[in-house]
Amino acid sequence: MPIVTGTDTAKTRRDLTVAGQKVSYYSIPAATEAGLGDFSRLPAALKVVLENMLRYEDGGFTVSVDDIKAFADWAQNGGKSDREIAYRPARVLMQDFTGVPAVVDLAAMRDGIKALGGDAQKINPLNPVDLVIDHSVMVDEFGNPRAFQRNVDLEYARNMERYQFLKWGQGAFNNFRVVPPGTGICHQVNLEYLAQTVWTDTDQTGATVAYPDTLVGTDSHTTMVNGLAVLGWGVGGIEAEAAMLGQPISMLIPEVVGFKVTGALREGVTATDLVLKVVKMLRDHKVVGKFVEFYGPGLDNMPLADRATIANMAPEYGATCGFFPVDAETLRYLRQTGRDEDRIALVEAYAKENGFWRDENYDPIYTSTLQLDLGDVVPAISGPKRPQDHVALDEAAQTFGEYIDGIRVAPSAPAGQKSEMTEEGGAPAPAHIPGGNRKRGLTCTLNGETFQLCDGSVVIAAITSCTNTSNPYVLMAAGLVAKKAHELGLTRKPWVKTSLAPGSQVVAEYLEAAGLQQHLDALGFNLVGFGCTTCIGNSGPLEPEISKAINDHDLVAVSVLSGNRNFEGRISPDVRANYLASPPLVVAYAIAGDMNIDITREPLGKSRDGQDVYLKDIWPSSAEIAELVDTIVTREMFIEKYADVFKGDERWQGVEVTDSETYDWPPESTYIQNPPYFQGMSREPGVISDISGARVLAVLGDMITTDHISPAGSFKPTTPAGKYLTERQVAPKDFNSYGSRRGNHEVMMRGTFANIRIRNEMLDGVEGGYTKGPDGQETSIYDAAMEYQAQGVPLIVVGGVEYGAGSSRDWAAKGTNLLGVKAVIAESFERIHRSNLVGMGVVPFEFTGGDNRKTLGLTGAEVISITGLAGDFKPLSLVPAVIRYADGSEKTVQLKARVDTEVEIEYLKNGGVLHYVLRNLAKG
């Protein structure tokens, strides 16, 4: 995007000479000198946004001097502001699950603009866009040397249509690059290669301008790069598409929570333990929609890999981002990962000149603060179904037992009393002991070996996800645990599906160079692919015998993964309890094979000579780990592995595509279909209408995640999506996953609200995507929605607190829209999903005055009408809703419209953000 600045801030432009090259930049100190306000004590994260305002002020980009002055007011008003600003990130990052539907939308917009008489070439990214294919590989094969090649073969066989489409997009659109499959996870590729911390571009005069590297991404964990002082966060694909087409991101100047870090981690404590503690603290502090900035002397003891781990999980603690300012560690990491020396010099000089540098005198103003002594962090895991469910490792077995008690005790039984269960062998534990209600001793035979499964059997142990595989300290620790265990004669339990899926090829290189991969292989942690795998639900099927035993006996099986998400139904349809853990603990649990074992006190197994082996016997020291990282992980590894990052292997190079301006939609494709959003669209926007006579499609509880709303994993032939594919002669073995089918709206709308663990309170004790249809009978949510649409009846979804938590998947909003839902009423919304709903023309409302679905007695049988939307509808308006109950009585309540800005009002008038952009581009 060309850089244009107005006369008021032109005086803030300064020149800087670094490594013999002169660059211009927009100076925050100069803005203070120009009388625009005192910005000296703004947090670095907020200074990045302020610089964005300086660079685009009055250049035809809707930024005013008053917007800039509002940042000084923010500092004077205790770190708060209600000022709406227009922010423009420098670039966009995508992965293939969210990237494919985004490119589908762009292709459809080219068709749409031509239908409106416009130029198809106007649908082109103005900002650089990088799409990394990382979400498609599944763990079909594992635990053997052929696993990697077999999984790659299956990935291409399943996804060739999608890859052809993406390769077409790479040729058809400007500023759009694709990182081929098998390279790594988008956030790790971004951290290790794409990100620059300070970006450069040319302005309208041809001069080079330096400015902070910023981005938005179509994945919620885009925040990982904030560990490198790059401001970025996740948005839905629809918002990212608008950003790449030149539409600013409308936002309020955010609150910034300061998180002070002191001390150093104790021996045996990992970065994963730290981040799980941080997630718990910040969830409790309530940071949804806020920036979090980390500061304090403890950062001097925190390597950048650990910072990236913490920044990665900002969605789990609910913040927009978790930011780390530029300091000496930033420069060290840039150098280690092969960045150009001139760029590193520019980062240092720019950060110091423009007030982004953290040293011992760094002392900003924050909206609020909290503090953590790193010495207080203990080994931990999180689970069984939320990242914020922090459990100290020495309490994990007992806590799991209490979880089992909560499941197994019959609702009518007194507390602690065991419900009736069928067991095969082994006396049950006493009912008063946590876990006394677990099923145990269920015999299973696999590959000629007979063993017993129980509630708590660990059936998946996965080293996965950018969160941890970007961190050489915890990866080396995992390798060392495997080495010590292997040398003592330990191995994984036969029922555990093990996998290693690094976030980049560099990881595989240094594990091999350190001599650790052979030991990981010996325990079944063979390389299965470079991608997200288990973390996003691509764990692949369990062995049929194990799956049958789990489901026939209703066992609560367990997964342990080094990921960032453990929501219900996400990891595997056979697994009900999911725990996040550090990579070395993943190895330990694979050896133990049972969540009921207290691995801090009980033996993991026996050595070759029959001696008990405990966790402490195989746990490496911090010195061992640091020595390996310092000697093995080199700058040259990163330079070599990223030399041809966009080239891909022979398979990718052999993917053939046609060269065309618009896409020739294959009518028989079950992966890529032309979506209906822009078909028959008029040149002029409409109006926002009141909602009259709406029926309730679902009444949902608290913490309904985007995984519940739009699952990404596998699905069965009996589901609406399965039936759709079966009718088109697609065999169940070729269904792939919801995530891979996001380019086909027909599959995705059938999968909306179809998570196997979602609970619609309109039905009693039913799990899955079901509701009551117009006739009052139980049916699938999709079928009910289609019946209501045929009758012309608008729909409403009711939820609890933190509605839409989790991934940034835009299909959670797109599917909601296509089902005919006009509004979602909840107690509170997570940031990205609220924005996505507005972007798709669905109005989010919040209950007020203490009202919620329970106090109002909502059963789903009500008819709801919402007025106050037509006419002079303003952001954050209070509007009346009339609820007519099944008995004919009525009640009027006030709802708060979570349409936060004037720009979002315009989006709703247009039917969505992309319609708004398309109409403006068509007008020229």
Domain boundaries, the chain: 7-87, 437-620, 691-923
Q: How many CB atoms lie within 10 A of CB 207?
A: 14
- ∠ CA 800-98-96, nearest 5°, is 145
The contacts of residue 146 (CB under 8 Å, 6+ apart) are none
The H or E element spanning position 276 is helix 271-285
Q: Are 832 and 236 in contact (CB under 8 A)?
A: yes
Question: Which residue from 905, 837, 821 is spatially nearest to 868, judged by alpha carbons?
Answer: 905
For residues 197 and 347, the answer to whether their CB atoms sit within 8 Å is yes
**CA torsion, ordered 668, 670, 674, 677, to nearest 10 deg:** 140
Q: Which structure tokens are listed for 222?
A: 């885009």
The single-letter DSSP state of residue 736 is -
Task: Find the DSSP H helices in 766-879.
Answer: 781-790, 811-818, 831-839
Query: 295 in the Ramachandran plot: left (φ > 0), alpha (ψ -120 to 50) or beta?
Result: beta
Instruction: Read off the tokens for 844.
Output: 């989010």
pLDDT at residue 58, as a whole number: 52
pLDDT along the chain (924 residues), means of 10: 50 92 95 95 98 79 87 96 92 91 93 92 93 90 95 91 94 95 93 96 90 94 97 88 86 95 96 94 94 98 95 93 98 97 97 96 96 97 92 95 85 37 41 74 89 95 89 96 98 96 94 97 96 85 94 94 86 93 97 96 96 97 95 96 92 91 93 92 92 98 93 90 96 89 95 94 94 97 98 98 86 96 96 90 97 97 97 93 97 97 92 91 84
Beta-carbon contacts of 675 under 8 Å, excluding residues fewer than 6 positions away, are 104, 105, 108, 745
What are the helix and strand counts (H, E) for the chain? Answer: 32, 34
Of 843, 865, 845, 787, residue with least CA distance to 819: 787
Give the span between the Cα atoms of 663 and 162, in whole angstroms. Answer: 13
Rounded-to-integer distance, Cα 89 and Cα 56, Å: 11
Question: Among 269, 907, 321, which Cα is nearest to 584's?
Answer: 269
Look at residues 605, 566, 604, 560 and name the one whose alpha carbon lies nearest to residue 583: 560
What whole-number distance in Å separates Cα of residue 555 and Cα of residue 722?
Answer: 25
* Per-residue pLDDT, 1: 41
Q: Nearest Cα to 803, choosing from 825, 819, 836? A: 825
Whether residue 384 is preceded by a cis peptide bond, meaning omega within 30 degrees of 0, is yes
C-alpha span between 5 and 71 (Å, rounded)? 18
Q: Return d(Cα 806, Cα 288) in angstroms, integer.
A: 12
Residue matched to tokens 């070395």: 584
Distance CA 160, CA 147 (A): 20
Out of 3.40.50.150, 3.40.50.920, 3.30.499.10, 2.160.10.10, select the CATH number for domain 437-620. 3.30.499.10
* 280 within 8 A of 258, measured Cβ to Cβ: no
How far are the Cα atoms of 20, 413, 537, 547, 871 from residue 573, in angstroms, in the given order? 59, 28, 9, 9, 47
- Taking 3-state DSSP, the helix, strand and coil percentages for the chain, each rounded to the nearest 5, stand at 35, 20, 45
One CATH from 3.40.640.10, 2.120.10.30, 3.20.19.10, 3.30.2010.30 for 691-923: 3.20.19.10
Q: Give the whole-angstrom CA distance, residue 913 versus residue 241.
A: 9
Residue 177 contacts by C-beta under 8 Å, 6 or more apart in sequence? Answer: 128, 129, 130, 131, 170, 646
Helix, strand or coil for residue 709? helix
Q: What is the pTM of this model?
A: 0.86
Cβ partners under 8 Å of residue 550, min gap 6: 453, 459, 542, 557, 574
CA-nearest of 98, 46, 114 to 221 is 98
Would you say 590 and 492 are in contact if contact means Cβ atoms under 8 Å apart? yes
Phi, psi of 342 (to 5 degrees): -65, -35
- For tokens 């009346």, name the residue: 880
- SS3 call for 158: helix
> Could you write out the DSSP letters of every residue in 285-351?
HT-TT-EEEEESGGGGG--HHHHHHHHHTHHHHT-SEEE--B-HHHHHHHHHTT--HHHHHHHHHHH
**DSSP 8-state assignment for residue 568:** T
d(CA 824, CA 837) in angstroms, rounded, equals 9
The Cα-based distances of 814 to 3, 570, 687 in angstroms read 33, 20, 20
For tokens 């022979």, the residue is: 650
- Give the C-alpha separation, 482 to 291, whole Å: 38
Cα distances from 254 to residues 43, 290, 410, 628, in angstroms, run 11, 6, 47, 41
Which of 599, 616, 613, 604 lies closest to 391, judged by CA?
599
Alpha-carbon distance of 595 to 557, in angstroms, equals 9
Residue of 810, 862, 859, 815 whose CA lies nearest to 219: 810
Which secondary-structure segment (H or E) carries 151? Answer: helix 147-172
Residue 924's contacts (CB-CB under 8 Å, 6 or more residues apart) are: 118
